Amino acid sequence: MLFRSLQRNQPYTANILKRRKLSHTSSSSGRNVLSELEARGFVAAVTSPKLAQQLESTTCIYSGVDPSAKSLHVGNLLPLLTLLHLKEAGHHILALIGGATGSIGDPSGRSTERNALDASVVEANVQSITTQVKRFFTLGNDYVRAKQTDHPIRSSPTTSLGRLKEGKLEVVNNHDWTVGVSLLDFLRDVGKYAKVNTMLSRESVKNRLSSEQGISFTEFSYQLLQAYDYRHLFERYNCKLQVGGSDQWGNIVSGIDLIKRTRSSTPADTTAGGGRDDHQELAYGLTIPLLTTSTGEKFGKSAGNAVWLDSEMTSVFDFYQYFLRTPDADVGKLLRLFTFLPMCEIDAVLEKHNAKPHQRQAQKLLATEITQLVHGQEGIERAETATAILYGIDFDKLNAEQVYKALHGDQRLRLVEKSAVIGVPFARLAATHGLAKSNSEASRSINGGGFYVNNGKLADTSKTLQECDLLDGRMVVLAIGKGERKILYLT
């Protein structure tokens, strides 16, 4: 793990410490949750090696997301999963939705300024993402309970917590404590502690300053707003750890710096019975690696589009298929990050996978586990049903109602009236429902042996759909070659 300096003025160190592994674990048989996160690949850097010790007792921890869209995408999963691990280790979790900062725009990781969103759009996005975050942790709790006997953190006690108990979750919105703050109040209470030379040294700011567009004062001030969030949560909830992506390092450090500078300018806190310890770490930061594929592409994109957690924006089937298509070079890393399977089980699966990679055992396990975690057991059933009818070869056991639920809203599922299809030639049905451009094209496919009805070759161009062709009495699957299938579902 890399322990990075806080890059501040004296008296704090300005040296970046060399890379080294955590040697500290809890004194009982269990592994410290930070070591577990590191082993799985969640940790890029922490602000202090003392964090492991801090996490041996119940700690309030937060991570934030700005509502730049109405749904989160798979790129947001790593911070959420980090919080889920920490929650399962007994910690108090704050999931922050940036109702205030979302209207500003974070310059981190961007070469151009974000488009400002209308207040009504931000508010709608906040409501949608709040619901989504709560659902994620509810389903995550169910998922971990199903894996509880194998879960490496929950199976062992820690020094301070005893037998681990599930932690608490709260979803908060920074608009609630920001909306009433005037500019003068903000400059007095936050701005006076911020050093412009330090703000200019942040990587996100330096990158934008060297770009053609530059950086607006609005986005330049974003790090102060995030720092204000951390200080507020520190004071309100005694929150001592912020989690974020690697591009959030500067913003996280700004918050830690504001907390320390604010405390150093106030009388010693004697509530602990002895004054303030100037060497005590008041707050911490943990960053997560920015996830890319083995080819260097940004993770979470499919055909140029984000893979959303909202099933109305990315179907459960497409979500499942995205992970099922994971390259061999990436599947081990993603199994460690996106599942709660024990590491020994993952290693065993990878060993079997490497022996017979064509069977794609690792990819199937990954797709199943992450779909269950994000979409629940019902989501798994829908994804597997959709996969069976769109890519399978055996339709005998398919249930029409399950197929309808699995593909509801998918363009490949066509709802038709019985009177409009019974007795109609298959060639005409293919053209009518977009499987072929015309009747003649469909007929040529039939003559060429490439037209399939319920996975059986059709040889007669005059053949019409009859009730005996219906699967489960309600549907028929048409296909040309190995391309897209159309499912005609009788209403």
Is residue 43 domain-resident?
yes
Residue 401, domain member (yes or no): no
Strand intervals (E) in 411-484: 413-416, 451-453, 456-457, 475-480
pLDDT of the residue at 112: 66
The answer on 81 and 126 residing in a single domain is yes
CA 489/CA 471 separation, integer angstroms: 10
Tokens standing for residue 366:
């990954």
Which residue reads 């009818």 in tokens? 389
Judge whether 312 lies within some domain: yes
Strands of 39-136 (E only): list them: 45-46, 60-65, 92-97
485 forms bridges with which residues in the sheet?
A: 479
Return the pLDDT at 147.
78
What pLDDT was estimated at residue 304? 67
Mean pLDDT confidence for 135-157: 73
Q: Do 312 and 256 fall within a single domain?
A: no
Number of structural domains found in the chain:
3
Residues 94 and 8 reside in one and the same domain: yes
Both structure tokens of 236: 């309100």
Query: For residue 133, what are its two tokens?
Result: 């975050």
Which stretch of 57-71, 79-93, 121-135, 292-306 has the lowest confidence by average pLDDT? Answer: 292-306
pLDDT higher than 80, residue 18: no
Higher pLDDT, 29 or 481: 481
Q: Both 465 and 371 in a single domain?
A: no
Residue 471: strand pairing partners: 475
User: Where residue 483 falls among pLDDT bands split at 50, 70, 90?
Assistant: confident
Domain limit, last residue, from 391, 423, 457: 391
Q: Are 191 and 128 in contact (CB under 8 A)?
A: no
252 and 306 fall within a common domain? no
Q: Please tell me the least confidently modeled range out of 210-219, 224-233, 447-456, 457-466.
A: 210-219
Query: What's the pLDDT score for residue 31?
Result: 56
Amino acid at 385: T
Radius of gyration (Cα) for the chain, nearest Å? 27
Q: At 461, phi and psi to the nearest 5?
A: -70, -20
Task: Put the strands of the sheet holding 169-173 in their side by side order.
Answer: 2-3, 45-46, 284-288, 239-245, 60-65, 92-97, 169-173
Q: Residue written as tokens 């309100």? A: 236
Residues 251 and 172 in one domain: yes
pLDDT score for 196: 84
Encode 10-34 in three state secondary structure.
CCCCCCCCCCCCCCCCCCCCCCCHH
Asked whether the beta carbons of 64 and 98 are under 8 A apart, the reply is yes
Can you give the residue range of the structural domain that contains 100?
2-288
Kindly state the average pLDDT of the residues 300-326: 88
Residue 174 tokens read as: 């920074």
- 377 belongs to a structural domain: yes
| Domain annotation covers residue 126 | yes
List pLDDT tens digits, range 53-66.
Answer: 999 999 999 999 99
pLDDT tens readout for residues 382-418 = 999 999 999 888 888 889 999 999 998 888 999 999 9
Question: CATH code at 24?
Answer: 3.40.50.620
φ and ψ of 207, to 5 deg: -65, -40
Q: Is the pLDDT of residue 19 over 50?
A: no
* 314/340 same-domain check: yes
**334 vs 363: CA distance, rounded Å:** 9
Is the same domain home to 60 and 186?
yes
**CA 243 to CA 84: how far, in whole Å?**
12
pLDDT attached to residue 203: 79
Please enumerate, as own/partner, the contacts of 81-84 that have beta carbons within 8 Å and a separation of 24 or more.
Answer: 81/42, 81/337, 81/338, 82/37, 82/42, 82/243, 82/286, 82/288, 83/243, 84/136, 84/137, 84/140, 84/144
DSSP state of 89: T
Confidence category of residue 430, pLDDT binned at 50, 70, 90: very high
Clarify whether residues 372 and 467 are in a common domain: no
Is 340 contained in some domain?
yes
- Three-state SS for 149-213 is HHCCCCCCCECCCECCCCCCEEEEECHHHHCCCCHHHHHHHCHHHCCHHHHHHCHHHHHHHCCCC
**Where is the domain boundary, 288, 312, 336?**
288
Closest CA to 234 of 256, 209, 264: 256
Do residues 236 and 309 share a domain? no
- Are 480 and 436 contacting, i.e. CB atoms less than 8 angstroms apart? yes
In a domain, 85, yes or no: yes
Asked if the model's pLDDT at residue 240 lies above 60, the reply is yes
Among candidates 7, 155, 169, which has minimal Cα distance to 86? 169
CB 476 within 8 A of CB 454: yes
Mean pLDDT for all residues in the chain: 85
pLDDT of residue 111: 60
State the Cα–Cα distance between residues 72 and 83, nearest whole angstrom: 15
- Tell me the CATH number at 327: 1.10.240.10
- Reading the block at residue 423, the tokens are 């007795």
Verify that 477 and 383 share a domain, yes or no: no
Task: Tell me which residue of 210, 207, 294 sits closest to 249, measured CA to CA.
Answer: 207
Strand duo 284-288 + 92-97: pairing: unpaired
pLDDT on residue 361: 95
- Average pLDDT on 86-99 reads 95
The CA distance from 2 to 17, in Å, is 7
The whole-model pTM stands at 0.83
Burial class (CB in 10 A: 0-12, 13-18, 19+), 216: middle
CATH code, domain carrying 425: 3.10.290.10
